[in-house]
Amino acid sequence: MIVHLIRTAGVSDELYFGCHEFLNQFVGPYSFVLSDKPREITIKDEIKIVEPGDPKYDIKEVRSFSQSVSMPAKNIQERKSWRDLFRINNKYRKSKDVKESNLYDSRHSEMPEELIDDYDSTIFESTPAVEELSNFYFSENRKPYIVILLTEHANHENWFVGYDPNLKGNYFIHVDGWEHFTSGDPRYPVCYHIASTLLKHAMFDNPQEMGNYMHYQSKGCMMDFCQNKSEVMLKLRTADVCPDCQRLIRAKQIPHMQLRYTFDVMEDIRRQLLFKDRYDLLRQATPMLVKGRAQKIVLPEMGMLQINLSPTERAIYLLFLNHPEGIRLAEMGDYKAELRGILNKVSPSDSRETIESQLEKLCEYNSNSLSERMSRIKRKFDDKLGTAMAEHYYIKGPNGGLKKIDLDRDLLKFQDN
């Protein structure tokens, strides 16, 4: 099954590509495809909140297998309608394959533009238009695929995950707000919802059927509704499926590879969350991997978490990894040739003049440039791991003394690709 992950402009490269890298660690039936650029949202609906009880409130728009989150009042005007969000998915679909398909009516005419652009309110009813749209995207002449939109935009109903009631295979995931519920890597809750969405996609034909099996009293199960947001982390920490839902999965005859993939993702996320929770007791570093020709810094046991250092920062860090005994900054000139070799390796596109200019700044006596780079490296480890855990990994030492990385080198591995 091909899964297209697309995003709006406010979703960072770090989160977007980080989720892709995390999901690709696990063996399964899914092939994840990234979009070449962020998608723009086209606002056609009035931006306002429609509360239950209002005549314009349409329950079919708010049925979802996920949960809501209370957003600050100042963000209300930024909320988008579900129609606007799913219009992005449909425009993406149209750009990919509208011209190569047979149509639902066998006339081989163009797909009506209003089904993509206007997303008229009649589409939200159980009318032939819904079946026509579904048949268009899931005809026997094409392989069905899933489109998941990652977006920073809040939505009218404040769901973290939305399920298009008109087209199976269209989803959005709201990626902001997780800092209110977890201090960990934001990839984890986002990837959990991607993985659970894919399993629910296989289990249910429509939101109404799925709604019949939701748990409105939380059990620590994937199918928990979690109206109370404090319960969201329970799902992530248990990575479980209750006995009732296990029986349902067996009855649905979900393929083993799909189940294994989902459970592997959820279990790894559970382990990462518990690892950080227990760090205060264990005080133990996790292994580090220096990966590929670019020598990227990765923590495999934390979901292949990458510390995003610039090429120059990475070269400095690798130099200190090579010298567990430590280096005095005043003696950096003695390591100039070694640092040059590392810079040539991690930034091969830079000219010789650029590299030599960097070397001069980094190796001059009491270099401010070197100190600034080391401070940035420390901050990036702190941001990813928290101050306590990061101490195992960044460069530290007394002023005028040896600066070194405390990481046990038995935990350090190199991988060429």
150-to-62, 86, 91, 102, 185 alpha-carbon distances in Å: 18, 11, 15, 29, 16
What is the structure's pLDDT at 50? 46
Q: CA–CA separation, 8 vs 152, rounded Å? A: 7
- For 2-278, the fitting CATH number among 1.10.490.10, 3.40.50.2300, 3.40.390.10, 3.90.480.20 is 3.40.390.10
Helices marked H in 161-255: 187-203, 207-211, 232-238, 243-252
407-to-50, 286, 313, 320, 326 alpha-carbon distances in Å: 54, 9, 18, 11, 12
What is the structure's pLDDT at 149? 97
What is the structure's pLDDT at 142? 53
Residue pair 154/147 in contact (Cβ under 8 Å)? The answer is: no
pTM: 0.61
**What value does the mean pLDDT of the chain take?**
78
What is the structure's pLDDT at 333? 92
How would you classify residue 343: left for phi > 0, otherwise alpha for psi between -120 and 50, otherwise beta?
Answer: alpha
pLDDT digits over 164-209, tens only?
Answer: 988 999 999 999 877 666 656 788 889 999 999 999 999 998 888 8
Look up tokens 């040896």; give the residue.
Answer: 402
What are the boundaries of each domain within the chain? 2-278, 288-415
How would you list the strands of the sheet with 412-415, edge to edge?
A: 305-307, 296-299, 288-291, 412-415
Q: What crossing angle do the helices spanning 311-321 and 368-385 adopt, rounded to 10°? A: 90
Q: CA–CA separation, 385 vs 124, rounded Å? A: 44
What is the structure's pLDDT at 143? 65
Please report which confidence band the pLDDT of residue 99 belongs to, taking 50, 70 and 90 as the band edges: very low
Closest CA to 41 of 83, 7, 84: 84
pLDDT digits over 318-339, tens only?
Answer: 999 999 999 999 999 999 999 9
Buried b (16+ CB within 10 A) or exposed e, 79-98: bbbbbbbbbbbbbbbbeeeb
Give me the residues paired with residue 327 across strands.
Answer: 403
pLDDT score of 404 more than 90: yes
Please report which confidence band the pLDDT of residue 46 belongs to, taking 50, 70 and 90 as the band edges: very low
Mean per-residue pLDDT for 232-250? 84
Q: CA–CA separation, 297 vs 151, rounded Å? A: 27
Q: Is residue 310 helix, strand or coil?
A: coil
More confident residue, 387 or 288: 288
Residue pair 151/8 in contact (Cβ under 8 Å)? The answer is: yes
What is the structure's pLDDT at 97? 53
What is the structure's pLDDT at 278? 61
Closest CA to 112 of 95, 96, 133: 133
What is the structure's pLDDT at 216? 81
- Is beta strand 402-405 parallel, antiparallel or unpaired with respect to 395-396? antiparallel
Dihedral of CA atoms 340, 343, 347, 350 in degrees, nearest 10, equals -30
Mean per-residue pLDDT for 125-143? 39
What is the structure's pLDDT at 229? 57
